[in-house]
């Protein structure tokens, strides 16, 4: 846990604070005594204005005004199937570079800048993935995150950076464009049929509350230019997810395999190694995926 005495009043900028992860992180940091800043916090003539990461001038002015002591950069195009490829690269790479440039030019640079990348950079490979595993991104989102990491390395001499690579995680408030919320919603709504792809594949799933807690803990430590996987280190197949929700809902759903959702080369088993993260933090948050699924199922039941 983060010590409140060490963090009371410290100004932390969260980009993407209104997003799924950002809302949970902002609450955890607020509870720990941080003062939360966002790019909507910049006041101009008494009016609150939103600052676009692609607007270098406005971004620079906002940061000169806010003077953050710590930064967590979550703002990104995070949906793999996002239709505008140009926007994926502009926001995830150019937007991040604009942010780092503006932070490096502050009179006093932040003591820690945490950048959220993605485990998608490892690509469609099986087994247990550690931080030194080869990167082999398979879509534009993943390529943009790999490029973001490479670009950020240019700033390591000027900014204290940490890069995190989260694997799949979920929780209350995640959009149903993502797989687990889609499945949970179908059970909650007592749907008779759900269309899915391969259900015998297994993936590393985590809870957004654990992820937020880990980000908060990392932020309170010195930044050493390291990269960390953020994951549970355990696998769940979609069949297990379906069975768990059948058990807690008392409802059965017919699974219809949609060929459009099936990848011919899909890896059957994939999970992350969290050993490096566990070593630096001295332990990880308690996690049970059935409890996460129950929390999501009961949230709007």
pLDDT of 266 strictly over 80: no
How far is residue 93 CA from its own chain's centroid?
16
Give the angle 79-80-82 at the CA atoms, nearest 5°. Answer: 65
Residues 197-251: tens digit of each pLDDT: 888 888 999 999 999 999 999 999 999 999 999 999 999 999 999 999 999 999 9
Tokens of 213: 């807690």
What is the residue extent of each domain of the chain?
4-171+208-232+270-286
Q: Strand, coil or helix: what is 139?
A: coil
DSSP bridge pairs for 36: 12
pLDDT of 7 strictly over 70: no
What size, in residues, is the chain?
301
**Band of residue 1 on the pLDDT scale cut at 50, 70, 90:** low
- Using DSSP bridges, classify how beta strands 47-48 and 43-44 pair: parallel, antiparallel or unpaired: antiparallel
**Band of residue 68 on the pLDDT scale cut at 50, 70, 90:** very high
Using an 8 Å Cβ cutoff, are 29 and 183 in contact?
no
- Which of 113, 109, 102, 138 has its CA nearest to residue 264? 138
d(CA 223, CA 157): 12
The larger pLDDT score, comparing residue 124 to residue 67, is at 67
Task: Tell me what pLDDT residue 41 has.
Answer: 58
The larger pLDDT score, comparing residue 36 to residue 201, is at 36
Residues 71-128: tens digit of each pLDDT: 999 998 776 555 688 999 999 999 999 999 999 999 999 999 999 999 999 988 888 9
pLDDT of 13 strictly over 70: yes
Which of 35-49, 207-221, 254-268 has the highest average model confidence (pLDDT)?
207-221
pLDDT of 65 strictly over 80: yes
Task: Tell me what pLDDT residue 45 has.
Answer: 43
123 phi/psi in degrees, rounded to 5? 85, -165
CB count within 10 Å of CB 170 equals 23
Q: What CATH fold (topology level) applies to the domain 4-171+208-232+270-286?
A: Rossmann fold (3.40.50)
Q: What is the mean pLDDT of the chain?
A: 91
DSSP 234: -
Task: Tell me what pLDDT residue 77 has.
Answer: 79
Q: Give the CA distances from residue 41 to residues 36, 61, 115, 139, in Å, rounded to whole numbers and listed in that order.
A: 9, 12, 20, 34
CB count within 10 Å of CB 56 equals 16
């Amino acid at each position: 846990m983060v010590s409140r005495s060490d963090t009371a009043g410290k100004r932390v900028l969260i980009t993407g604070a209104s997003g799924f992860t950002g809302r949970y992180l902002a609450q955890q940091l607020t509870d720990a005594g941080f003062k939360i800043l966002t790019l909507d916090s910049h006041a101009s003539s008494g009016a609150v204005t939103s600052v676009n990461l692609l607007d270098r001038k406005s971004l620079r002015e906002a940061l000169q005004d806010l003077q953050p002591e710590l930064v967590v950069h979550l703002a990104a195009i995070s949906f793999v199937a996002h239709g505008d490829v140009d926007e994926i690269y502009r926001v995830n790479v150019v937007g991040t570079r604009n942010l780092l440039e503006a932070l490096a030019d502050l009179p006093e640079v932040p003591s820690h800048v945490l950048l959220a990348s993605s485990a998608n950079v490892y690509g469609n490979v099986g087994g247990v993935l550690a931080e030194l595993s080869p990167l082999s991104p398979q879509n534009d989102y993943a390529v943009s995150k790999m490029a973001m990491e490479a670009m950020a390395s240019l700033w390591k001499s000027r900014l204290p950076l940490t890069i995190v690579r989260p694997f799949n995680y979920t929780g209350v408030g995640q959009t149903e464009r993502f797989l687990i919320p889609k499945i949970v919603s179908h059970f909650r709504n007592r749907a008779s049929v759900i269309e899915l792809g391969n259900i015998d594949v297994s993936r590393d799933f985590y809870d957004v509350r654990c992820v937020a807690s880990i980000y908060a803990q990392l932020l309170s430590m010195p930044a050493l230019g390291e990269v960390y996987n953020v994951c549970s280190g355990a696998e769940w197949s979609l069949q297990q997810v379906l069975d768990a929700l059948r058990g807690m809902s008392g409802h059965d759903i017919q699974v219809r395999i949609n060929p459009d959702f099936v990848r011919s080369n899909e890896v059957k088993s994939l999970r992350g190694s969290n050993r490096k993260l566990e070593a630096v933090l001295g332990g990880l948050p308690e996690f049970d995926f059935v409890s996460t699924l129950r929390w999501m199922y009961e949230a709007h039941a």
